[in-house]
Chain A
Amino acid sequence: MNNIPIEYYLILSALMFAVGITGVLIRRNAIVVFMSIELMLNSANLSLVTFSSYLGNSIGQIFVFFVMTVAAAEAAVGLAIIIAIFRNKLNVNIDEINIFKW
C-alpha cells in the first residue's frame, strides 16, 4: 500500500467521474444516462475508500456503504419511473420525454 501514492487513486477517480459526466451529457437513452450517474457515484466511492484506507479509519467505508444503499434505492425507483414512462411513450429518449413542457 505504501508503494502507490494516494494521488494515483484520486486521479483515477477524477477521470472516471469525468467519463460519467460525459456520458450524462452526450447520451440520450435515459437508462444509459442513469448508468453514467452510477459510474459517477462509484468514482466518488473510490476516493472515499482510498482516503479511508490511507488514513486507517473506517468512516469512509461506512459512507460508501450508505452510498450503495442509496444507489440501490435509486436504481429501484428510477427504473420503475423509466418503465412507467416507457409504457406511456414507448420510448426512453430523454429528448422526447418533455411532457412537462406543454
Chain B
Amino acid sequence: MNAELILFIVFALLALFASVMMVTRKNPVLSAVFLILNFFALAGLYLLLNAQFIAVVQIIVYAGAIMVLFLFVLMLLNQRSEEKILNGKKNLKIFAIIVSALVVFQLAYIIFYSKPSAGLAPELQKSVQAGTVEQIGHQLYTNYVLPFEAAGFLLLAATVGALILAKKKFE
C-alpha cells in the first residue's frame, strides 16, 4: 500500500458514497449537499491525476457556481421533501436497477476486455505537463480557439435565455 493508492481509495469511496447519498436523500437540499461533496472528492481525484487546472476549475465552476445556483433555486422554491423517493412505483425501481446494472456490466466488460493499461506507458513528467495551466491555456488559444469562441457564444446565449425565461411569466 502506498500513499497514492490510499488517497485514491479514500477519494473514490467518498465520491461513491456521496453520489449514492445524493440519489437516495428525500430532501432535495441534502441531495445538493452530497453532490457538492462528490464534486470535492472528484477534485481530489483530479489532483491525484496531476490535472491541477481541471481540479481547481472543478471547484470554482461546479462546486462554487453551478451548485450554488442549484441551492439558490432549491431554497427559493422551498419545497417539502418527497414523502417517498419511489412514490410507490415498484416496477420503476426494478427497471432502474436493471438498467443501471446493465450499464455497469457493459462498461466493465468493455474496460476489462479492451485492457486499456496493456499498451499504456504513463510517464509522470508528461502527465504533469499535460495538466498545467500553461499547457491548457496554450492549447485553448491556438488549436482550440474556435471551440473556445463557440463556448463563449454558448454562455452568452444561455445568459440571455435564462434571463428571458426567468423574467416572463409562463403564458
Interface residues of A (CB under 8 A from B): 1-12, 14-23, 25-29, 31-32, 34-36, 38-39, 42, 45-46, 49-50, 52-59, 61-62, 64-66, 68-77, 79-88, 92, 95
Contacts and interface: CB of A to CB of B under 8 A. Distances in A.
Contacts of B129: 56
Closest 4 CB pairs of A and B: A56-B126, A73-B158, A25-B96, A14-B107
A92 to B, nearest CB: 7
A44 to B, nearest CB: 11
A53 B96 CA distance: 33
26 contacts: A1-B50, A1-B124, A4-B8, A6-B117, A8-B12, A9-B49, A12-B45, A14-B111, A16-B16, A18-B100, A19-B23, A25-B96, A53-B50, A53-B131, A56-B123, A57-B130, A61-B136, A68-B58, A69-B154, A73-B158, A76-B69, A79-B162, A80-B162, A80-B165, A84-B166, A88-B169
A92 B82 CA distance: 11
B38 A7 contact: no
Contacts of A62: 136, 139-140, 144
A99 to B, nearest CB: 9
A100 B162 CA distance: 21
Interface of B is mostly: helix
| Binding site secondary structure of chain A | helix
Given A21-B100, A75-B70, A88-B169, 14 more contacts: A18-B101, A19-B22, A22-B23, A25-B100, A26-B96, A31-B74, A39-B22, A42-B42, A57-B126, A61-B130, A65-B57, A68-B58, A70-B154, A84-B170
A19 B100 contact: yes
Given A1-B127, A68-B57, A19 B20 contact: yes
Interface in B110-147: 111-112, 116-117, 120, 122-127, 129-131, 135-136, 139-140, 144, 147
Nearest to B57: A68
Contacts of A32: 23, 28, 31
Contacts of B45: 9, 12, 46, 49
Contact of B66 (A2, A3, A49, A72): A72
A77 B165 contact: yes
Nearest to B16: A15
Contacts of A16: 15-16, 19, 38
